[in-house]
Amino acid sequence: MSQTFLLSSVALAALAATALPAWRRLELSRAKHPSLTGHSRMAKRVAAQLPGYSYDDQRFFDSDGAPGDVVARRRAGFEALSHLLRTRHALSIAATREARPALSDLQFTSSYRVPFQYSPHVREHLPVGAFVRAASGVTMQDLDGQDFYDLTGSYGVNLLGVDFYKECIAEGSRLAEPLGPVLGAYHPCVLENVQRLRAISGLDEVSFHMSGTEAVMQAVRLARYHTRRSHLVRFSGAYHGWWEDVQPGVGNPLPPHETYTLREMDERSLQVLRKRKDIACVLVNPLQALHPNAGAPGDSSLVDSSRRAGFDRVAYTEWLQALRRVCSERGIVLILDEIFVGFRLAPGGAQEYFGVQADMVTYGKTLGGGLPVGVVCGRAALMKRYREERPADICFARGTFNAHPYVMGAMNVFLKRMETPQVRALYDDLDERWNARARDLNDRLALAGVPVHVANLSSIWTVLYTSPARYNWLLQYYLRAQGLALSWVGSGRLIFSLNYSDADFEQVAQRFVAAARAMHQDGWWWHDAALTNKAIKRGILREMLAQRFGL
Ligand SMILES: Cc1ncc(COP(=O)(O)O)c(C=O)c1O
């Protein structure tokens, strides 16, 4: 009897030992987003199989099966657009052509502006000048003297207008000049910067780095060091720089083994955090509130009209607060990556805006006053890079250019100006102002009868398309023809600086509608009743399989 009991106890224990890890794995896979953004390894495998091919001159215009008369309209529109852009921006385009063979980044960005099937034809006929010679107010000027309204926002750095940053840099340089580029020792303004950053972040300590990517690396490294746990949790689609561990999918030749990518705004992810013992930190990019679980909406992946976005402040606030609770219960370090949204949503950043206190916060971009920077703020216990009781067990992180006097000078001016009544006034009714502008543009687009509308998180916007279409990515060129400058991700992200006046915005809105109207008239949004986003995707898949297997 007792032998049987013993045997069954052993069997039960063995079962538990195998069943529990299996159950945890199941929980983990249930917390992954079903799309490829949630399955990094699968995404990499798919990407590795994707064949490169491009459309010929005919297919370029009728890839959605458009009839002859529509194709003729498209051709005429395309030729006119090509002629306009090539003649109006001839010098900028010539400089870009000259630089391209030797400038790797330029080769990459100019190839990935539009879906790859269309890219060679677009590069040849709709070249984009990558050079600008001057900027002021909310506009910039290319080598041909042509002005553009700046909707690029310099990757988010430009929050307060380019002139503001010119002043930060000039004034900051004057401040740093007596010392010059002496590194290692600190310029006295560092003391003020640290104090201000402590007040803004509500955290004890600060470390300075050279880029946002480095700040995130350091925050995660410290979280691992202090928790003695291996894994970092990030959420589907979120960008945290180009360091290996935060980019487990496409784009990274060496996928990390210590990163979990989970669904954002989902109870299943909280469940994983509650149960697993190997999680050091959770990294959140609040920009994802605009498009939870989706990657940065670039036009190179705009193969149909299924791009979705929409910001729900209440729901995202609840999500961050739930995350906060679970992280506190489980001793997991909550890192808010405010490199993009910090200072854009509120003077106290996303923490203030969403009412959540993180254990560590990363800042960058605009904080450098126009110069490159990354910053980590954190609780004292997490920021310490050594252990008194184990002097050789250190968490090393130093960089030659950290706390560079000129960067610290520009940051000093930025932080001081952030406290002035003029800058504070920009935050009064900030969301109301930008939401009203987005509504206004949407009303105009609806009135014009074009299948386009915008969604926004305050001054960060994205363009959405309301009827199935294969050519939405072309809108970026029609917008360019209207004097609106977008970054290389095209209509996926428009970033406004807060110095846009109502009159400036009126100009942008008029030009935006004119661009959409022109594209509509040129027939690019024609579609037959049978076309759906699903059908487009299916068609592309068939095309790829045929290419892949040489059918
Ligand atoms: C949220 C977030 N984290 C990190 C980074 C990386 O910053 P950097 O480009 O300065 O390395 C970015 C850059 O866009 C970002 O948006």
Tens digit of pLDDT for each residue in 19-32? 888 888 899 989 99
Q: Is the pLDDT of residue 15 over 80?
A: no
Nearest CA to ligand 1 atom 7: 212
Q: Any idea of the CA torsion for 144, 146, 149, 152, to the nearest 10 degrees? A: -10
* CB 346, CB 332: distance < 8 Å: no
How far CA 58 is from CA of 111, 393, 523, in Å, comes to: 21, 64, 15
**21-30, 204-213, 278-287 — which is least confidently predicted?**
21-30
Give the C-alpha separation, 116 to 322, whole Å. Answer: 40
The structure tokens listed for 330 are 């489980």
Give yes or no for residue 340 CB within 6 A of ligand 1. yes
pLDDT tens, residue by residue, 119-145:
999 999 999 999 999 999 999 999 999
Nearest CA to ligand 1 atom 16: 340
Q: Which atom of ligand 1 is nearest to the CA of 365?
A: 10
**Mean pLDDT within 501-523:** 98
pLDDT band at residue 496, thresholds of 50, 70 and 90? very high
Q: Which residue in 370, 360, 377 sits closest to 408, CA to CA?
A: 370
Residues 182-213 as b/e (b if ≥16 CB within 10 A, e otherwise) read eeeebbebbeebbebbeebbebebbbbbbbbb
Give yes or no for residue 337 CB within 6 A of ligand 1. yes
Give the C-alpha separation, 337 to 345, whole Å. Answer: 13
CA of 338 to the centre of ligand 1 (A): 9
Instruction: Report the residue among 240, 335, 363, 407 best suited for mutation to probe ligand 1: largest number of ligand atoms under 8 A from its CB.
Output: 240
Instruction: Report the residue among 158, 339, 488 best suited for mutation to probe ligand 1: largest number of ligand atoms under 8 A from its CB.
Output: 339
Q: Is the pLDDT of residue 35 over 90?
A: no
Give the C-alpha separation, 213 to 202, whole Å. Answer: 22
Mean pLDDT of the chain: 95
Give the C-alpha separation, 503 to 483, whole Å. Answer: 15
The reported pTM is 0.94
CA of 56 to the centre of ligand 1 (A): 37
Contacts of 270 (CB under 8 A, 6+ apart): 322, 323, 326
**Mean pLDDT within 143-166:** 98
CA of 212 to the centre of ligand 1 (A): 5
Give the C-alpha separation, 409 to 404, whole Å. Answer: 9
Q: Which residue in 147, 491, 22, 138 sits closest to 301, CA to CA?
A: 491
* CB 369, CB 172: distance < 8 Å: yes
- The pLDDT > 70 percentage for the chain reads 98
Q: Which atom of ligand 1 is nearest to the CA of 213?
A: 11
* Rounded (5°) CA angle 434-136-177: 115
Give the C-alpha separation, 223 to 386, whole Å. Answer: 13
What pLDDT shows up at residue 7?
59
Give yes or no for residue 240 CB within 6 A of ligand 1. yes
Give yes or no for residue 418 CB within 6 A of ligand 1. no
Instruction: Report the residue among 152, 158, 216 best suited for mutation to probe ligand 1: largest number of ligand atoms under 8 A from its CB.
Output: 216
CA of 336 to the centre of ligand 1 (A): 12
pLDDT tens, residue by residue, 80-129:
999 999 999 999 999 999 999 999 999 999 999 999 999 999 999 999 99
Q: Is the pLDDT of residue 346 over 80?
A: yes
What pLDDT shows up at residue 6?
62
Q: Is the pLDDT of residue 2 over 90?
A: no
* Rounded (5°) CA angle 286-289-290: 125
The structure tokens listed for 500 are 């846009």
Q: Which residue in 220, 211, 151 sits closest to 487, CA to CA?
A: 151
Give yes or no for residue 201 CB within 6 A of ligand 1. no
Give the C-alpha separation, 291 to 278, whole Å. Answer: 28
Give the C-alpha separation, 268 to 235, whole Å. Answer: 12
**Mean pLDDT within 262-275:** 97
pLDDT band at residue 254, thresholds of 50, 70 and 90? confident
Give yes or no for residue 247 CB within 6 A of ligand 1. no
What pLDDT shows up at residue 39?
87
Nearest CA to ligand 1 atom 13: 241
* CB 205, CB 377: distance < 8 Å: yes
What pLDDT shows up at residue 44?
87
Question: For the chain, how big is the Rg over CA atoms in Å?
Answer: 26
**Mean pLDDT within 388-415:** 96
Q: Which atom of ligand 1 is nearest to the CA of 341?
A: 1
Nearest CA to ligand 1 atom 2: 240
Q: Is the pLDDT of residue 1 over 70?
A: no
What pLDDT shows up at residue 487?
95
Nearest CA to ligand 1 atom 6: 241
CA of 213 to the centre of ligand 1 (A): 6
Give yes or no for residue 239 CB within 6 A of ligand 1. yes
What pLDDT shows up at residue 4?
63
* CB 474, CB 445: distance < 8 Å: no
Give yes or no for residue 487 CB within 6 A of ligand 1. no
Give the C-alpha separation, 166 to 170, whole Å. Answer: 6
Q: Which atom of ligand 1 is nearest to the CA of 285?
A: 1
What pLDDT shows up at residue 249?
84
Give yes or no for residue 285 CB within 6 A of ligand 1. yes
Q: Which atom of ligand 1 is nearest to the CA of 214?
A: 11
Give yes or no for residue 349 CB within 6 A of ligand 1. no
Residues in a beta bridge with 233: 260, 282
CA of 285 to the centre of ligand 1 (A): 10
What pLDDT shows up at residue 507?
98
